[in-house]
Structure 1
Amino acid sequence: MAEGYRIIGAEMSPYSVKIRSYFRYKAIPHQWLLRNTASQAEYDKYARMPIIPLVITPEGTGIQDSTPIIDAMEKLHPEPSIHPGDTVANFISALIEEFGDEWGNKWMFHYRWARDVDQRASAGRIARMRNPAASEEKHEAFAAQVRVRMVDRVWFVGSNAMTTPQIENGFVEMLGLLDSHLASRPYLFGGRPAFGDFGLWGQFYELWTDPTAGALIEGNTPHVLDWVHRMLWPRAEGAFESWTELAPTLMPILVRQVGRQFWPWTLANETALRQGQEEFSVTLGDKVWTQKPQKYHARSLGMLRAKYADVADKSALDMVLAAAGCLAGLRA
């Protein structure tokens, strides 16, 4: 095995580019390999699950799942830290990372496959990345297969006729809130990228590369656009800010997006899985959201609860979480 890590991923995978951005920030020697016909044999050798990214260590071990990958690498490469020293900001960063992975993915997947122009663009890109040497005839046939398969899977993130307005209105609102927050700082938690940046940015990067969502970002939110570009090769430009400094513009995101939308959904999803429901409905704000349960999310919620349990003094944190509507269920 050559020195350094090997990352097998895809440019159109939010979790893959999330890991690539992290490795770049940490200056960890690595190779970025697209998962395609050329890398498939190596992927099959080390992957335990059919997901990307796959990180292959210099010792020849395969690691999967973006959040545990970062947690593991942070222990080996603690500097520069991605965890704010402020207790409240530190956990909120972990919460935003979870929010990005699980709720931000709804925006990304919906916009990528909801409209004809995005479907054609995305299916064609995926087909070309998976088999760059294919003839035009084979490329078009494979792109058509990808389009049918992926459009048929939008239900997985809860995208349907009922939830479409909630997803799209929520994304537009988030763009405005995020642009305001990033107007006075380069990253979510101050002068350097935090855990939360990597999780949320992966989704926003993918949204930016697609026609419809990309136009919304390019045309309306210059600070979000700068952040999307900055996170491709992130670097420390200053220190983390305290929660007091962050709260005026980050708290509205917690209340209106995480507390009113994501958190009720995540607890309802957990209940549906525990009760073996085929479908569940939950009121988010003043709208009813209906979808099939997402099995993996119960595991990531468990990891977030473990991080909450590790906080020694929760007094200030609990006040913030309660005000945001995110405290219930963390103690379970």
Structure 2
Amino acid sequence: MTVAKNARTTSAAAGRYRLHGLKLSYFTGKLEAYMRAKGLEYDFVPMDLADFRACARATGVAQMPQLQTPEGDWLTDTTSIIAHLEAGEPGPSFLPGDREADFLCLFLEDAFDEMLWRPALYYRWAFAEDAQLMSGQIARTLLRDLPLPFFLRQAFIRHRQKQTFLTRDGVTRATAPAIEALFHAVVDSLEPVLATRPYLFGARPCAADFGLFGSVFRHFSIDPTPAAILRDKAPNLLAWSARLWAARPSLLEAVPGLQSAPDDLDPVLSLAGAEHLGYLGRNEDALLANARQVIWISQGVEFRAPAAPYRAVCLNALRVRYQALDEASRQRVADRIGFNVDVLAAPASHLTIPAGGRPVDRLWSSA
């Protein structure tokens, strides 16, 4: 996971970032929430197809969001962008001060980014009401410069998204109940945590909060089907998403820094170990075998989907952090995660995203 700084331009306003994305996008929402809480001034640039292509030419990566710095550099991949900004910008810190807690925070950020991707896209495109609503929004925004009547733009995007994020991503009648079960399991593990404190690790947000935010704020809380579920069973999770969106440095400056990962996070850590680490290991195996598909088990059901080089890079980043911990810390982390920790302990695979390629599973983010 690297920060792309390919094309240097001078179009960013002095002292301000330019954030290119969509207001209904999973990862755009994640990055916006972070920048607001960090106190970074930015201008939002709503992407259309021309801007999407221009950003791709500047960075070599066809995805959203993309961030242009005040100096004119371009940054991509929200995890890498946040790490870059944490290291170089003043403002509140969003990592715990303890290395063990730091690892668990970043592990959950990665798990929320990737483990909730499929449920978020499933609920958006597998249900008629949700698909009709969101295809209309995308037709009016991202596709506004496509020279077609609105109804054709809407039909095109609905068909394209269903093919990409349902058919090709392993969503079938057999796997749909498992996707819903995973969503409910995550919600059930988080709701009691957020009933007791403002954010996942304590009184201020951390990277794990921002990882969770994209799916909750830009999918589960606005798409009709999952939003009804959250209103019914997870009001504290909904309140948390609004609280994080409202977070500003002035509200956080007097809040003590985070030092540990509370014990009540163990259910979601175990779930991420069973689901996310299990998948990451099988995805890496598939890539090493030059297989086009990865086959894994989620919620007791077999899934098949395209192997994802980007997620192998994510796994190696987690390995580096895990293996840098002292032996006692590694054991405590392993005990808390509980499942598939051998995936973290294995040697790095050195797989990379192919030159000139892009994370295929993040094209158009969650648009």
Counterpart in 2 of 1:22? 34
SS of match in other structure, 2:221: helix
Counterpart in 1 of 2:269? 254
CA distance in 2, matches of 1:281, 1:39: 36
Q: Does 1:110 align with 2:134?
A: no
Q: Does 1:224 align with 2:237?
A: yes
Amino acid at match of 2:45: L
Match among 170, 181, 194 for residue 169 of structure 1: 181
Shift of 1:291: 2.6
Amino acid at match of 1:253: V
Q: Is the 8 A contact 2:48 2:145 kept in 1?
A: no
CA distance in 1, matches of 2:256, 2:171: 38
Shift of 1:239: 3.2
TM superposition score normalised by structure 1? 0.91
Shift of 1:42: 5.1
Match among 257, 267, 279 for residue 281 of structure 2: 267
Shift of 1:323: 4.1
CA distance in 2, matches of 1:165, 1:79: 43
Amino acid at match of 2:43: Q
SS of match in other structure, 1:80: coil
Q: Is the 8 A contact 2:19 2:66 kept in 1?
A: yes
Q: Is the 8 A contact 1:163 1:290 kept in 2?
A: no
Match among 85, 97, 116 for residue 73 of structure 1: 85
Match among 253, 256, 267 for residue 239 of structure 1: 256
The 1:220–1:163 alpha-carbon spacing in structure 2 relative to 1, beyond 3 Å, is: same
Over residues 22-69 of structure 1, what are the superposed CA-to-partner deviations in whole Å (9 max), with x where a residue is unaligned?
111111121111112574575355332110111011111111111111
Counterpart in 2 of 1:306? 320
| Structure 2 gap segments, 5+ residues each | 1-9, 348-367
SS of match in other structure, 1:146: helix
Over residues 80-138 of structure 1, what are the superposed CA-to-partner deviations in whole Å (9 max), with x where a residue is unaligned?
11101133221111001100111111110111111111111111111111255889x71
Q: Does 1:214 align with 2:249?
A: no
Q: Is the 8 A contact 2:115 2:276 kept in 1?
A: yes
The 1:222–1:267 alpha-carbon spacing in structure 2 relative to 1, beyond 3 Å, is: same
Q: Does 1:187 align with 2:199?
A: yes
Shift of 1:141: 1.1
The 1:110–1:212 alpha-carbon spacing in structure 2 relative to 1, beyond 3 Å, is: same
| Structure 1 gap segments, 5+ residues each | none
TM superposition score normalised by structure 2? 0.83
Shift of 1:143: 0.7
Q: Is the 8 A contact 2:277 2:341 kept in 1?
A: no
SS of match in other structure, 1:190: coil
Counterpart in 2 of 1:279? 293
Shift of 1:164: 1.0
Counterpart in 2 of 1:31? 43
Counterpart in 1 of 2:361? none
Q: Is the 8 A contact 2:19 2:43 kept in 1?
A: yes
Over residues 160-195 of structure 1, what are the superposed CA-to-partner deviations in whole Å (9 max), with x where a residue is unaligned?
222211110111121121111111111111111101
SS of match in other structure, 2:95: coil
Over residues 221-265 of structure 1, what are the superposed CA-to-partner deviations in whole Å (9 max), with x where a residue is unaligned?
110000111122324273355546x11x2101111x212211111
SS of match in other structure, 2:44: strand
Amino acid at match of 1:177: S
Q: Does 1:146 align with 2:157?
A: yes
Amino acid at match of 2:239: D
Q: Which has the higher contact order (CA 8 A, sep 6+)?
A: 2
Count, aligned residues: 327
